[in-house]
Amino acid sequence: MSRKRANDAYTPRPEHHFTFGLWTVGNPGRDPFGEPVRAPIAPTRIVEKLAELGAYGVNLHDNDLVPRDASTAERDRIVRAFKAALKASGMKVPMATTNLFSDPVFRDGAFTSNDARVRRFALQKTMAAMDLGVELGAETYVFWGGREGVETNAAKDLRAALGWFRDSLNFLCDYARSQHYSLKFALEAKPNEPRGDIFLPTTGHMLAFIYTLDHPEMVGLNPEVAHEQMAGLDFSHGVAQALEAGKLFHIDLNGQKPGRFDQDLRFGSDDPRAAFFLVKLLEDAEWPGMRHFDSHAYRTEDEAGVWDFALGSMRTYLILKHKAEQFRRDPEIQQLLEALRKRADAAPVAFTKERARALKAERFDLPALRAQGYAYERLDQLTTELLLGVR
Amino acid sequence: MSRKRANDAYTPRPEHHFTFGLWTVGNPGRDPFGEPVRAPIAPTRIVEKLAELGAYGVNLHDNDLVPRDASTAERDRIVRAFKAALKASGMKVPMATTNLFSDPVFRDGAFTSNDARVRRFALQKTMAAMDLGVELGAETYVFWGGREGVETNAAKDLRAALGWFRDSLNFLCDYARSQHYSLKFALEAKPNEPRGDIFLPTTGHMLAFIYTLDHPEMVGLNPEVAHEQMAGLDFSHGVAQALEAGKLFHIDLNGQKPGRFDQDLRFGSDDPRAAFFLVKLLEDAEWPGMRHFDSHAYRTEDEAGVWDFALGSMRTYLILKHKAEQFRRDPEIQQLLEALRKRADAAPVAFTKERARALKAERFDLPALRAQGYAYERLDQLTTELLLGVR
Amino acid sequence: MSRKRANDAYTPRPEHHFTFGLWTVGNPGRDPFGEPVRAPIAPTRIVEKLAELGAYGVNLHDNDLVPRDASTAERDRIVRAFKAALKASGMKVPMATTNLFSDPVFRDGAFTSNDARVRRFALQKTMAAMDLGVELGAETYVFWGGREGVETNAAKDLRAALGWFRDSLNFLCDYARSQHYSLKFALEAKPNEPRGDIFLPTTGHMLAFIYTLDHPEMVGLNPEVAHEQMAGLDFSHGVAQALEAGKLFHIDLNGQKPGRFDQDLRFGSDDPRAAFFLVKLLEDAEWPGMRHFDSHAYRTEDEAGVWDFALGSMRTYLILKHKAEQFRRDPEIQQLLEALRKRADAAPVAFTKERARALKAERFDLPALRAQGYAYERLDQLTTELLLGVR
Amino acid sequence: MSRKRANDAYTPRPEHHFTFGLWTVGNPGRDPFGEPVRAPIAPTRIVEKLAELGAYGVNLHDNDLVPRDASTAERDRIVRAFKAALKASGMKVPMATTNLFSDPVFRDGAFTSNDARVRRFALQKTMAAMDLGVELGAETYVFWGGREGVETNAAKDLRAALGWFRDSLNFLCDYARSQHYSLKFALEAKPNEPRGDIFLPTTGHMLAFIYTLDHPEMVGLNPEVAHEQMAGLDFSHGVAQALEAGKLFHIDLNGQKPGRFDQDLRFGSDDPRAAFFLVKLLEDAEWPGMRHFDSHAYRTEDEAGVWDFALGSMRTYLILKHKAEQFRRDPEIQQLLEALRKRADAAPVAFTKERARALKAERFDLPALRAQGYAYERLDQLTTELLLGVR
């Protein structure tokens, strides 16, 4: 099961801040049409193995670590052993979250179930999971509402459901505050699957929702590549909006072809170009967050393939990061960008009556503006050649 | 060209507040692969004809009425004749907007063009178009940034572009205020086409953006069926979010199959079920806005077909509105909904420490909650039969 | 669990030839993010219950009835009990198929696995399943190659894989012939899920493939609504091509929104209009095959909801069938169609040199042909109103 | 307008057999929302300029060269000048086709219009265009039926329409034969746009249709990247099927994001990985056809950008071709593939009764087959690193 690993410029190290979910490398390869193909891997072994590969930390749902029906004693024993493994390996748990989707009790959703008892149970489960996350040192708490949705709009009052969702998040923000937890909440959107349609289906809808909460300052986004690309949207655009709004609190890196089931492919393996523009955006912004991979190995793989997958995810990020640096130094590319920057050099645009009057009277050389090209084909071709490694 | 029209319960009348864009019934049937198939119809004739069919008003882009290069005298003559036609027919102009996409000057966008002169020209053009809209009585001003986007992310600083867009909207809000215009702004999102990717691609992204403006209270949304469905999203969900946030300022009704080019089909003609849930949502909410159709007749049609299209759009809305009323009165449907409402009847959820403590200790009958069904198949089948007119 | 059922014009009866897969009503509600929510229902109970609801028969995979590791004695006992249930209820088994996707052995495909032993095992399993199907009276044998595909094109020689698939089908055709089985093979395409991309992804690709087999006359198609709509294609068009080519051997009725995971919704519940055109096509063609439902109840449902789902599937088909008859009798619709038929009335088009010469010299009144409309908006609006039950 | 061009291993030369449509580099940048942004470029100039860039030839629709209403004298003069330009530059015209979509006469289709006169006119126009193509030396004749479709299935008898399409193709095959033209026909599928749904929407549906023609041996496919990817299908799979069936007669190279309008992007610019697997497939198969680009420059470009676009298209193909060679020589990649080939080494599978009997009795080591991994993650990661140029 051990394979020769390259030790080169793209070898991951803890300072790169790569993290994986326990559920990602631990994914047993079950899918809607087939049984598991891999044995479960113990969380402690995952920690050791990822440390060996150069990761910084692991993230988890409550039930990734502690089984649903564990007694308090079992829970404590499991947590103790897990902390020991973390300590031994130097790995961290920067993020935690709640599993609000596997248990049949959540078949109609958790915070938006039509059954108020289910909604309360979801709050209870989340508070316990937050306690666990904090105990493990997590600073970010993710909410993915995979079952908050409908198959038919006849079944749910859409506006009431949004209200229930908001009430729950407000409650949990207050809970975190009352406990003096230094947690930030990161909300994760997805358009569909497993529900027919999931509420707040994109990074945009979710970000808009945050502004309506009681404590918007402690709530941001956890955008996921696959979830935005399922809707055919450019992921970088959503991330740029989150960054610009100061709301990029976490990120889920993986791969996905548009318009199909949730694939959770190895980062960069579906569309290296989109992955490049994403890495470039994060690195240009010097974004300080974790580079978290929410993906899993193909179902064709045995355990050795799982570690190939994990290593490959990190290597591809580093390769693309290197290319982003190269882009910033490429003279032909920078010459084209400089020409664009010159055109962009604008007078201030804050409104005054005088400025409005002047602007109304301004004469533009429209024939020239209509005729000018922007040289984006050339710029894009140079980028393509850089990406393909022939510059 | 005149066809016998039914006079029945679904015959549109002005009080139904149906409006059409001049560009919709006036669409000459040009597409990327073919020449126009219909002669232009004069705006004054459109007004007369739509009034005859029972519409309430027409909406317009500046250049739908006034050609791009018209002199001031020509402009005034055209506007005078148009106002006369409005007066004669009793038709209104509730909404106006700017054409920031046809002129080659906008090839790289208007408010987000990399060229600062283009951005200024877009402001100038919009101020003039706002003046025109107000002169015609418009109370809602729509912004659709069809060219605000990119084909390649190499070409534009995404965060800078969002900043430029915000600056422009802030400027124009201030302009409206300085002029004492009682205009509300309604922003319209679209994921792609004509650009490869358009910024703020969905109703959700656009709504989030509004919260970052200087005057968010005067800015809301103009969601369009087709634009949200292009991304495969459930349109009703986006509209419900906008309604719940008090941000549904206008709406564009039409039809669209997911995952393809912008079709602008007759409302209700692609997916009558999705159209039904939308109408039900608007009518249940007693939403007071205009029912605006942003769509056009198939390119197979001559002018008679255009009026068939316009009439059909309104009739289908009224048929679905009638079904929404029927849904509210259907005893079997209401019995199922009543059973759901009982489960939803919840204790208050505002956070207190005591409530959190109690909730942590609450015991749930999980086996029962796991086993219970929600009868959504039955509810959906009854809805289907109601929609198909056999209940 | 028993609900009052309507007894009306849309009540299913055996002569309507409705069938269900054991795996459809038997679906326990497991999905990629959640555990089963319903207990398994014994095949014998499924038979009884479906008979009671008016179905004609049930279809099955080998392992729907006989567990994977059953001994010969167990197998025989199970089959005996099942046949007794069929006899008691008068239900038939018109179609059978092989499960070549659940067992981890098929993780890289069955007939196209890169491992030749797996390909041989798939042949062995299929021969045994064909024997079982014939024993139960099946006349159609379906092949759905859910795992015949790849996640990365680096992994498989695409042309070799098609060759392996062909070899297997040729082998199995010969096997059926050598056994004197009066089976017809019906191939079922799907674009993706569970594999990243599945070979022969649409009804069209699969039909083309059939022409390259050794015994094309015994092989046709089993198109599935959901599978074609996943790719955003108009399902009726694929079915019309199959019908026209004499290759519609079976059909899988269900519902699906384009561009998302495989939903297997209740027939007609997602897009009643597309369902209407499909039913109209099948009924206009007087197609004699089974109306098979390959779908399952929402995961929100308990067992009562499963039977609601089954009954609703059949009722919707019958409602739409009734509407197809109404379409054929509607005077306004027929008047429009008659006008089109007149334009279509053409001279014979078989090639002769004289006809080609004459055609080259023919003068067309192009201005008139360019100007004429086709009245499709009106035709479509009348169809919409008929579908909504207000004509 | 002249830019410094690299002269390196990726510089195109005529022996690479790159061709462009006159309509591609000649595209003036009109789209559904905007006016043309570039002046027309004379066909003779296109020929010279492409020759200068290293192309092999140009392809054309009849009306790309000869305007719709040209007199015979004009036509002859234009053709003469064009032939002179070809001769001067050494450029060829390997493929020709008919414009059956721009003229409003084709608003309801050409060979499948409901109007029989339109269908006859389409035949007449195609015969003349074939004559022109042959005169220019074309050996492949492409049929793209962009308007052969519907917006509503109420409007057309789907099976009749397929019959009309077949009649037309049979007629034109016979015409070519009667003229002793050595033309091969290459049919091109597209799922939608400009029609709501286009008949025979994918490479697969079109290939199936070919088998029903009178002269299938002279008819093959012209698959287009963008058209197959619009439906979210893996283009390489369709091309592999065409190759395997001996039906890849021509190819249209470009780029496209799934699930949106027809973008016709520069080859390799949207998804370099998919482009790589396509080039690898064509080169591994030593496919002898033309590498034709059916795409156009972004609308942001002036004429200089058009030539950047043309050159970039060819360069990217050559870069990827080089990588395909590298893949064949990479020791680690080849070691993984060799391991797979060993598993694939199979006994013959042609059916005999003895072989079937033996196969039924064969014992498989299922636990081992279930447990084994395929190392596809590693293989794919190596491929990714090769593609990114870091191997």
Active site residue B61: yes
Q: If you ran DSSP here, which 8-state letter would residue C161 be given?
A: H
Q: How remote is the C-alpha of C357 from its chain's centroid?
A: 46
- Cα B140 from Cα B153, distance rounded (Å): 33
pLDDT at A345: 76
Contacts of B356 in chain A (CB under 8 A): 127, 171, 175, 178
**pLDDT > 50? residue A307:** yes
Q: How do the residues of chain B divide into helix, strand and coil, expressed in percent and rounded to 5?
A: 50, 10, 40
User: Confidence band (pLDDT; 50, 70, 90) for C347?
Assistant: low
Beta-carbon pairs below 8 A across chains A and C:
110
**pLDDT > 50? residue C146:** yes
Exactly one of A62, A64, A108, A270 is catalytic; name it. Answer: A64
Q: Do B34 and D102 touch (CB under 8 A)?
A: yes
> Nearest-5° angle of CA C111, CA C114, CA C115?
85
Pick the residue from chain B with its C-alpha nearest to D192. Answer: B260
pLDDT at D1: 40
Per-residue pLDDT tens over the stretch B262-302: 999 999 999 999 999 999 999 999 999 999 999 999 999 99
- Cα D130 from Cα D140, distance rounded (Å): 10
pLDDT at C1: 40
Candidates C24, C27, C31: best to mutate against A (most CBs of A within 10 A) is: C31
Cβ neighbourhood burial of D160 (10 Å; 0-12, 13-18, 19+): middle
Q: Which residues of A touch C (CB under 8 A)?
A: 29-37, 101-104, 106-108, 146-147, 151-152, 155, 191-194, 196, 230, 232, 257-263, 265, 269, 298-300
C-alpha dist (Å) from residue C103 to C164, C194, D253 = 20, 13, 39
C-alpha dist (Å) from residue D265 to A381, B191, D306 = 12, 17, 12
Question: In Å, how far is A313's CA from the nearest CA of chain D?
Answer: 9
In this complex, the residue of C104, C153, C238 whose CB is nearest that of residue D236 is C153
Sign of CA dihedral B124, B125, B126, B127: positive
Per-residue pLDDT tens over the stretch A31-84: 999 999 999 999 999 999 999 999 999 999 999 999 999 999 999 999 999 999
Beta carbons of D111 and D164 less than 8 angstroms apart: yes
- Cα D97 from Cα D128, distance rounded (Å): 11
pLDDT at A349: 78
Sign of CA dihedral C92, C98, C103, C107: negative
Per-residue pLDDT tens over the stretch C48-76: 999 999 999 999 999 999 999 999 999 99
Per-residue pLDDT tens over the stretch B157-171: 999 999 999 999 999
Neighbours of chain A (3+ CB pairs under 8 A): B, C, D
CA atoms within 13 A on the CB side of D220: 22
pLDDT at A6: 67
Q: Point out which residues pair with A97 in neighbouring strands.
A: A61, A142
Average pLDDT score over residue span A298-326? 98
pLDDT at C7: 82
Candidates C30, C293, C377, C385: best to mutate against B (most CBs of B within 10 A) is: C377
Q: Do C192 and A261 touch (CB under 8 A)?
A: yes
Q: Which residues of C touch A (CB under 8 A)?
A: 29-37, 101-104, 106-108, 146-147, 151-152, 155, 191-194, 196, 230, 232, 257-263, 265, 269, 298-300
pLDDT at B345: 76
Contacts of C31 in chain A (CB under 8 A): 32, 194
Pick the residue from chain A with its C-alpha nearest to C38. Answer: A104
In this complex, the residue of C305, C373, C389 whose CB is nearest that of residue B390 is C389
Candidates D97, D102, D151: best to mutate against B (most CBs of B within 10 A) is: D151
Per-residue pLDDT tens over the stretch A194-213: 999 999 999 999 999 999 99
Q: Do B373 and C301 touch (CB under 8 A)?
A: yes
In this complex, the residue of A302, A374, A385 whose CB is nearest that of residue D373 is A302
Average pLDDT score over residue span C12-21? 98
Exactly one of B62, B64, B270, B271 is catalytic; name it. Answer: B64
The predicted model scores a pTM of 0.98
Per-residue pLDDT tens over the stretch D177-225: 999 999 999 999 999 999 999 999 999 999 999 999 999 999 999 999 9
pLDDT at C47: 98
Contacts of D311 in chain A (CB under 8 A): 381
Beta carbons of C269 and B380 less than 8 angstroms apart: yes
Q: Do D244 and C154 touch (CB under 8 A)?
A: no
C-alpha dist (Å) from residue C347 to B300, C350, D115, D167, D314 = 24, 9, 12, 12, 47
pLDDT at D2: 47
Pick the residue from chain C with its C-alpha nearest to A36. Answer: C104
pLDDT at C15: 98
**pLDDT > 70? residue C9:** yes
Contacts of B153 in chain A (CB under 8 A): 234, 236, 277, 280-281
pLDDT at B2: 47
CA dihedral A171, A174, A175, A176 (to 10 degrees): 130
Q: Do A147 and C33 touch (CB under 8 A)?
A: yes
Pick the residue from chain D with its C-alpha nearest to B196. Answer: D263
Q: Which of B219, A258, C83 is nearest to D229 (CA)?
A: A258
Beta carbons of D191 and D198 less than 8 angstroms apart: yes
CA atoms within 13 A on the CB side of B139: 7
Average pLDDT score over residue span C336-349? 86
Contacts of D191 in chain B (CB under 8 A): 260
Give percent above pLDDT 70 in chain B: 98
Checking DSSP bridges between strand C95-97 and strand C140-144, what pairing results, if any? parallel
**pLDDT > 60? residue A90:** yes
Question: In Å, how far is B140's CA from the nearest CA of chain A?
Answer: 21
Q: Do B29 and D104 touch (CB under 8 A)?
A: yes
Tokens describing residue D247: 């039906």
Question: In Å, how far is B390's CA from the nearest CA of chain D?
Answer: 21
Tokens describing residue D139: 């050996």
**pLDDT > 50? residue B1:** no
Neighbours of chain B (3+ CB pairs under 8 A): A, C, D
ipTM of the complex: 0.97
Q: Do D107 and B34 touch (CB under 8 A)?
A: yes
Q: Pick out chain D residues at pLDDT < 70.
A: 1-6, 346-347
pLDDT at C353: 97
Pick the residue from chain C with its C-alpha nearest to A262. Answer: C261
pLDDT at C5: 66
Cβ neighbourhood burial of A214 (10 Å; 0-12, 13-18, 19+): middle
Burial annotation C277-307 (CB, 10 A radius, 16+ → b, else e): bbbbbbbbeeeebbbbbbbbbbbbbbbbbbb
Beta carbons of B10 and B318 less than 8 angstroms apart: yes
Contacts of D371 in chain A (CB under 8 A): 302
Question: In Å, how far is C241's CA from the nearest CA of chain B?
Answer: 22
Beta carbons of C172 and C97 less than 8 angstroms apart: no
Q: Do A285 and B178 touch (CB under 8 A)?
A: no
Q: Do D29 and B152 touch (CB under 8 A)?
A: no
User: Confidence band (pLDDT; 50, 70, 90) for B346?
Assistant: low
Bond into D94 cis (ω within 30): no
Average pLDDT score over residue span A173-178? 98
Neighbours of chain D (3+ CB pairs under 8 A): A, B, C
Question: In Å, how far is C324's CA from the nearest CA of chain A?
Answer: 26
pLDDT at C344: 84
Q: Do A377 and D301 touch (CB under 8 A)?
A: yes
